[in-house]
Amino acid sequence: MTPEVEDAIATMAAVNNEFFYWMSIALMMLIHAGFLAYEVGASRSKNVLATAMKNLLAFATIVASFYFVGWFLYNAMPSGFIEFSDAARAALPWSDNMGPNVQDPASGIFWGAFALFAATTGSIMSGAVLERIRTSGFLVLTVLVGSVTWIIGAAWGWHGAGWMLTKLGFHDVGAAGCVHMIAGFATLGILINLGPRIGRFRADGTAVTIRPHNLPLTMLGLMLIFTGFFGFLMGCVIYAGDGFATIYASPTTLSAFAFNTLMGLAGGIIGAYVTSKGEPFWTISGGLAGVIGVASGMDLYHPALGFVIALGAGALIPYIGRLLEKFKIDDVVGAVSVHGGIGLYSVVMAGIFLWGYPNTDGNPSISLWGQLIGAAVFAALGFFPTYVASLGLKKVGLLRIPPEVEEQGLDLSEVPATPYPEGIPVTAMRVTGGVAVIEEGK
C-alpha cells in the first residue's frame, strides 16, 4: 500500500470518526425535544409555557457551565481526586483544544456528546418538579447536577481509567448509573424539600391524581426520547474508524447495542403494561425503563436475557411510583421511578448476570459486590448534594413559588405570552375581582 493510499485511508477514518459523533449529538437533541413535549403534555394547561421555558433554560445553562467546568472535571478526576494531567489541562476552557484547532479536530465533537449527556440529567430532573419550582432555584440545581455531580460519577465509573473500574471492575456501559441513577436520586433529594403540588394529597395522605392536560403529547415526547436514545448510545461507544469499543475500551459492536436497545424497549413496554393494567403513562414510560434496565450490560447480554431484564424493569416502575406516593413524594413524570429506581436496578442486574465476566486487561472482573458498591456511590453522589442545596434554597425562599402563583398558574405570572389564545383545553380561566382564577375540568 502506497503512502498516499495510507494517508487517504487515515483521513477518511478521521472524518468518519468526527461524523459519527456529530450525528450522535444531532440525535441526542431529539431527547431534549422529547422531554420538552413530554413535560408540556404532563403539565396542566396553566403551566405549559413555563414548563417549556424551563426546559430551554436548563439546556442552555448546562451546556455553558459544562464547557467551563464539567469537561475539566471528567478529565481531571478518574482517580477520585483532581489531578492536572495532560488530558485535564487540555480540557480547561482556555486550552487550544477547547476551540477551533485543526490539529485536534475531535475535542469539540467529544465535548459536544458529553455536553448532551449532561443536559439529559437536567431534563430528567425537570419533569419531576413541574408546576411549583422557581425557575431560578431549578437552574441552580440543574447546573449542580449537570456540570458537577454526574460528571464526577462518570469520571469515577465510566472513564476508562476511573477508580471504580480499576479497583472494583465496575461495568455500566450504557450510563444507567452515572446518568440516570445519579439524576434520579438527585431528583429525589429535591422533591423531599420541594413538597407536593397543592391538592396532590388529601389531609389523610390519600393521593389525588392530577391529570396531564395532553397525554398524547406526553406519549409522543417519549417516542422522540426513544429515538434520541440511539444517539445517546452512539455516544457510549468509542469509534476509531476501524471498529468499535465500549467506553471502557473493550471490543463491542453496534449490533449488540441494537439488539438490546430494541429488546429493552419491547420488554419494558410489555412489563409496564401488565403491572399498570394498561395505564398509558406508565406503559410508554416502561419503554424508557426497559432501555435503562439493560443499559449497564447491553454490550454483553444475549437479547433474550435483555428482554427478560427489561420486562422486569418495566414491571417495577408503577410499584416504585406507588411507594413514593406513600411518602407524599410528588413526582409528576415518574423520574425517580424510571431513572433513579431502574438505574439502580440496571447496575445491580449487571452484577448478577455478568458476575465473573472478564473486564479489560489489568482490571478486576465484573462482580456483584463491585456493582453494589458503585451503586451506593452513585446514589450518595446523586442524593446528598441536591438535598443540601435545595434545603438551602428553601430556607432563603428561592425553591418554591408562592401558593397564590401556583394556584393561578405559572404562565400568568412568568411568561409574557398565551399558550392557547383560541381556547384553553382541560382548564379554563374566569376573572373574579380583577384576578384570573383557574377552574379545573372545563
pLDDT tens digits for the chain (442 residues)?
A: 676 655 554 555 566 778 888 999 999 999 999 999 999 999 999 999 999 999 999 999 999 999 999 999 999 999 999 999 999 999 999 999 999 887 777 788 889 999 999 999 999 999 999 999 999 999 999 999 999 999 999 999 999 999 999 999 999 999 999 999 999 999 999 999 999 999 999 999 899 999 999 999 999 999 999 999 999 999 999 887 668 899 998 999 999 999 999 999 999 999 999 999 999 999 999 999 999 999 999 999 999 999 999 999 999 999 999 999 999 999 999 999 999 999 999 999 999 999 999 988 889 999 999 999 999 999 999 999 999 999 999 999 999 999 999 999 998 888 877 787 766 554 444 433 334 444 444 3
Q: How far is residue 91 CA from its own chain's centroid?
A: 23
* DSSP SS3 for 286: helix
189: in domain: yes
Is residue 414 domain-resident?
Answer: no
432 and 153 Cβ atoms separated by less than 8 Å: no
Q: What integer pLDDT is reported at residue 101 of this predicted model? A: 80
SS3 361: coil
Inter-residue contact 339 to 183 (CB < 8 Å): yes
Closest CA to 163 of 83, 91, 235: 83
| 148 located within any domain | yes
Residue 428: its H or E element: strand 427-432
Phi, psi dihedrals of residue 224, rounded to the nearest 5°: -65, -40
CB atoms within 10 A of CB 96: 11
Residue 390 belongs to some domain of the structure: yes
- CA proximity to 320, closest of 293, 298, 296: 293
In a domain? residue 214: yes
Burial of 382 (0-12, 13-18, 19+ CB in 10 A): buried
What's residue 238's pLDDT? 87
* pLDDT at residue 11, as a whole number: 55
Asked whether residue 410 is domain-assigned, the answer is no
List C-alpha distances in Å: 129 to 72, 133, 194: 29, 6, 8
Which residues are paired to 251 by β-bridges?
Answer: 245
Neighbours of 11 (CB within 10 A): 11
Q: Answer whether 406's CB lies under 8 Å from 198's CB.
A: yes
Residue 391, φ and ψ in degrees, nearest 5: -65, -40
> Domain for residue 402, yes or no?
no
In a domain, 405, yes or no: no
* Residue 305, domain extent: 3-395
Residue 27 near residue 231 (C-beta atoms within 8 A): yes
Are 268 and 311 in contact by the 8 Å Cβ rule? The answer is: yes
For the chain, the domain total comes to: 1
- CATH number, domain of 314, equals 1.10.3430.10
Quote the CA–CA distance of 254 and 283 in Å, as a whole number: 27
pTM listed for this prediction = 0.92
